[in-house]
Chains A and B, each alone.
Chain A
Amino acid sequence: MPEDNPADEDVLHRAAIDRSVRLPVLFFFTSAAAWLAVSVVLGFIQSMKLHSPGFLDFPCLHFLQYGRSNPAFMGALVYGWAIQAGLGVCIWLMARLCRAEIKNPITLIVAGHFWNIGVLLGVLGIFTGHSTSIEWLAFPKAVWPILFVAYSLVVVWLFTLFQRRKPGEVYISVLYILGACLWFPWIYLTANVFIHVLPGSPIAKAATSAWYLGSMTYLVLAPMALASAYYFIPKILGRPIYSSYLSTLGFWGLAIVGGWTGIQKFMGGPLPAWMPAVSGAAVIFAIIPVCAIAVNHHMTLRGQHKLIESSPTMRFTAVGAAAFTFYCVFSALNAFYPLGALTQLSQTTMAFQLLAVYGFFSMCMFGAIYFIVPRLVGCEWVSGRRIRFHFWFSTYGMISLVAVHFLGGLWQSHAYAQFDVPLENAISAGRPYAIGASVAWVFIIASNVMFLYHLSLMVFRLGRKSEQPAMIGHADHTG
């Protein structure tokens, strides 16, 4: 860790940095949290619609049908919550790790406003019947330039901050943040230009959309979450990361294979066969950097697993990091025909997307938010019990949601494969699992209502006042 010197000067400097980033980081966190609220409600609605289309089926609410609420939910979750929370964490980490007070937070606030306007237009566009029905790119075509410009503003700002850093070794989290900074605009611009702007083969466009999902997960969501995990695990333990060699190996390994992933989704589809094959190989090779990262985190933690129980940040981060490993291993298994044939084109797709966005990315972000917010607002989280409630309901909700969709998808594919029975069997095979998913959504809603209430108490400075920003359970390691 580049900043473990507990000298008073350092503490004061860090406090000054925290003060300087307060406005933009809180802006991103609060707007992300608002979108999280929207997305969990939409998530529940779309889940209900999947098995009971009669739910909320009023003429004035016709836009809530699954075909619109599902893309709107995903849009709100990925662009409203995930990317914004990620940017908030990245800005804070970057300022901390570059040991530089920030200048010009207005740029970030302006970019944040544009981003929120873009997401709002996108979600409303889907509801008013302008969806493109492309996974994670369902926002109407007019929206992507707004999101692209807004993100690029933040990228320019982060690079400027990086250039002003105090000399010294560049920490691994910074590499991940810079990576996410560069990859997202490139991936997002490519996908939108090739799909929405240029004329061209419809099949190549479909392949690009599948690639977008893979690249977003491996090269945008993963780096943001890993940047956070690489910072907070050693920070809370108060010891350096186990091996900087493994850190570098993990980063570059991910950088090399990440851009090849995604198209395995269409294996056996009407694409040139080498495309899904290459993507399938890439997700299998991704196991190598992912193992390097997992071993590195685990070895850093060795002997200190008790801290997972006492520190909320540690607890969320550990579950998030474990979910990442799990996600990558399962993606690799899915690249093989026997399992892939069953998981392809079924509810399992939902399980994977939720595992990536909620299971792994969001858990890391929650952990980071529990650490960062007290340092920005100068008061302590009101109750440890509420954090535990958020943690357990989120974890159980996520695990059951992913498991139910995963098993439901297998069963559904199995039923579709039995071609000699009536269609009814295949249609109704997935239904009980969809009902199970709705129950899991209730847990997720409950956990997030608690989180939002708790966060709003903090933002309005109604938390416990404390002399120094200490965290429940790891007061010794604060800084």
Chain B
Amino acid sequence: MNSLRQFVLCLAATFFVPWLCLIVIPHVKMAKAVAPETWVNQDLGTSQSFPPGTPNAFRRGQEIYAAEGCASCHTQMIRPTYLGLESWRPGFGKEGTIEAPVRTRETVPGDYAGERFAYLGVQRIGPDLSNAGYRHDAAWHHAHLYEPTSVRGFSTMGSFRHLYIKRKIRGQRSADALELSGEFDPGEGYEVVPSETAKALVSYLMTLKKDSPLPPATTPIDASQDAGEDVKKG
């Protein structure tokens, strides 16, 4: 292989195929598949669509999620049960018992529609956050971000105190002020309030509910069962 041109052409050809198949074609195809599908839920009698869309709080919040490196420890990807059973555990905010857990479905591409980047994750130092919005209220998240061990003694998460402002109470105590007790109490006459950044991050966490009902056609097993019943009835 002494000709440079020949070498470069061979190299380009071997790399072009995976580049085209794994990068270009998926990008082109997936970019088209964003139109939401709407259907009528027979049980509720209401119209539903998937992907359901994301609120405005999402964008800014996700930027902070990235900037603070949350994705270094938390995933947003629920695998099918044959790979892992991370979709339910006690205290995950969804009903169910250890004997009869109510599993959240695995995540599908539509769950990430409208995001700038799908932070599927690297490693699970902390729990999966795909459905973090169900688990706690905003006040809990603020207390947890300010001082993780104040609400979970075993937490190994770092404190995000720099997103909060400790200040002297002037007049009335702020409605946003964090409820902190014990060693984390800011002291008499002081309060800890979330900055706009912290509010955006928590609003984002509260929107994380990647379990919207899927349109009937995309759940083939149920669809075939329904069809079978229809045939019997018919």
A: residues with CB less than 8 A from B are 49-53, 57, 59, 62, 65-68, 70-71, 126, 129-135, 138, 159, 162-163, 169-170, 175, 178-179, 182-183, 186, 190, 194-195, 198-209, 211, 219, 248, 252, 255-256, 258-260, 263, 266-272, 275, 278-279, 282, 337, 340-341, 344-350, 409, 412-413, 416-424, 426-428, 430-431
Number of interface residues of B (CB under 8 A): 79
Complex contact B122–A345 (CB within 8 A) = yes
Within 8 Å CB of A263, what residues of B?
22
CB distance from B187 to the nearest CB of A (A): 16
Measured in the bound complex, the distance between the Cα atoms of B107 and A426 in whole Å is: 21
From DSSP, what is the main secondary structure of chain B's interface residues? loop
Measured in the bound complex, the distance between the Cα atoms of B58 and A467 in whole Å is: 68
Q: Which of B12, B17, B22, B111 makes the CB contact (< 8 A) with A211? A: B22
Q: Which of B26, B85, B106, B161 makes the CB contact (< 8 A) with A59? A: B161
Known A-B contacts A68-B68, A163-B4, A428-B154; the reply to A211 vs B117 at CB < 8 A is: no
Name the segment of B76-84, B171-179, B224-232 touching the other chain: B76-84
In addition to A138-B69, A178-B4, A219-B15, 20 A-B residue pairs with Cβ atoms within 8 Å of each other are: A65-B69, A163-B4, A179-B11, A200-B31, A201-B27, A201-B33, A203-B118, A204-B23, A204-B30, A208-B23, A255-B14, A258-B15, A260-B18, A266-B77, A268-B79, A269-B107, A269-B120, A340-B83, A341-B79, A416-B84
Measured in the bound complex, the distance between the Cα atoms of B109 and A272 in whole Å is: 8
Tell whether B144 is near chain A: CB-to-CB under 8 Å. no
Complex contact B83–A267 (CB within 8 A) = yes
Measured in the bound complex, the distance between the Cα atoms of B31 and A70 in whole Å is: 31
Complex contact B23–A268 (CB within 8 A) = no
Within 8 Å CB of A259, what residues of B?
14-15, 17-19, 22
CB distance from A130 to the nearest CB of B (A): 6
Within 8 Å CB of B108, what residues of A?
270
Measured in the bound complex, the distance between the Cα atoms of B26 and A279 in whole Å is: 14
Complex contact A162–B154 (CB within 8 A) = no
Q: Which of B8, B91, B101 makes the CB contact (< 8 A) with A422? A: B91
Within 8 Å CB of A258, what residues of B?
15
Measured in the bound complex, the distance between the Cα atoms of B11 and A267 in whole Å is: 28
CB distance from B199 to the nearest CB of A (A): 16
Complex contact A269–B127 (CB within 8 A) = no
Tell whether B66 is near chain A: CB-to-CB under 8 Å. yes
Complex contact B89–A420 (CB within 8 A) = yes
Residue on B nearest A55 in the bound complex, by CB: B158
Tell whether B35 is near chain A: CB-to-CB under 8 Å. no
Complex contact B85–A419 (CB within 8 A) = yes
Within 8 Å CB of A341, what residues of B?
79, 82-84
Complex contact B89–A423 (CB within 8 A) = yes
Within 8 Å CB of B7, what residues of A?
175, 178
Known A-B contacts A57-B158, A270-B118; the reply to A131 vs B23 at CB < 8 A is: no
**1/0 per position for B215-227, CB-CB distance to A under 8 A?**
0000000000000
The interface centre, meaning the residue of B22, B68, B160 with most chain A CB atoms within 10 A of its CB, is B22
Complex contact A344–B83 (CB within 8 A) = yes
Complex contact A134–B77 (CB within 8 A) = no
Measured in the bound complex, the distance between the Cα atoms of B90 and A138 in whole Å is: 34
Complex contact B69–A70 (CB within 8 A) = yes
Q: List 20 A-B contacts (CB under 8 A).
A: A50-B125, A70-B69, A126-B69, A133-B66, A175-B1, A175-B7, A178-B4, A190-B19, A205-B116, A259-B15, A263-B22, A275-B22, A346-B124, A347-B123, A349-B122, A350-B123, A416-B84, A419-B85, A421-B89, A424-B152
Complex contact A419–B19 (CB within 8 A) = no
Within 8 Å CB of A337, what residues of B?
82-83
Complex contact A431–B156 (CB within 8 A) = yes
Tell whether B2 is near chain A: CB-to-CB under 8 Å. yes
CB distance from B125 to the nearest CB of A (A): 7
Q: Which of B21, B77, B162 makes the CB contact (< 8 A) with A62? A: B162
B: residues with CB less than 8 A from A are 1-2, 4, 7-8, 10-12, 14-15, 17-19, 21-23, 26-27, 30-31, 33-34, 65-73, 75, 77, 79-80, 82-91, 98, 101, 106-109, 111-127, 148, 152, 154-162
Q: Which of B26, B69, B101, B107 makes the CB contact (< 8 A) with A419? A: B101
Complex contact A71–B69 (CB within 8 A) = yes
Complex contact B84–A417 (CB within 8 A) = yes
From DSSP, what is the main secondary structure of chain A's interface residues? helix
Within 8 Å CB of B82, what residues of A?
268, 337, 341
The interface centre, meaning the residue of B71, B85, B152 with most chain A CB atoms within 10 A of its CB, is B71
The interface centre, meaning the residue of A49, A205, A263, A346 with most chain B CB atoms within 10 A of its CB, is A205
Q: Which of B14, B17, B113, B124 makes the CB contact (< 8 A) with A416? A: B124
Complex contact B83–A268 (CB within 8 A) = yes
Complex contact A206–B69 (CB within 8 A) = no
Q: Which of A71, A269, A279, A344 makes the CB contact (< 8 A) with B72? A: A71
Complex contact A207–B26 (CB within 8 A) = yes
Measured in the bound complex, the distance between the Cα atoms of B111 and A201 in whole Å is: 11
Q: Which of A159, A190, A203 makes the CB contact (< 8 A) with B30? A: A203
Complex contact B27–A194 (CB within 8 A) = yes
Measured in the bound complex, the distance between the Cα atoms of B124 and A430 in whole Å is: 9
Residue on B nearest A420 in the bound complex, by CB: B98
CB distance from B154 to the nearest CB of A (A): 4
Measured in the bound complex, the distance between the Cα atoms of B3 and A266 in whole Å is: 39
Complex contact B22–A207 (CB within 8 A) = yes
Measured in the bound complex, the distance between the Cα atoms of B83 and A350 in whole Å is: 20
Known A-B contacts A186-B19, A345-B122; the reply to A424 vs B80 at CB < 8 A is: no
Q: Which of B1, B115, B155 makes the CB contact (< 8 A) with A427? A: B155
Within 8 Å CB of B101, what residues of A?
419-420
CB distance from B86 to the nearest CB of A (A): 6
Complex contact B89–A419 (CB within 8 A) = yes
Within 8 Å CB of A266, what residues of B?
77, 120
Measured in the bound complex, the distance between the Cα atoms of B75 and A347 in whole Å is: 12
CB distance from A292 to the nearest CB of B (A): 16
Complex contact B154–A424 (CB within 8 A) = yes
Residue on A nearest B98 in the bound complex, by CB: A420
Measured in the bound complex, the distance between the Cα atoms of B75 and A194 in whole Å is: 22
Measured in the bound complex, the distance between the Cα atoms of B148 and A350 in whole Å is: 24
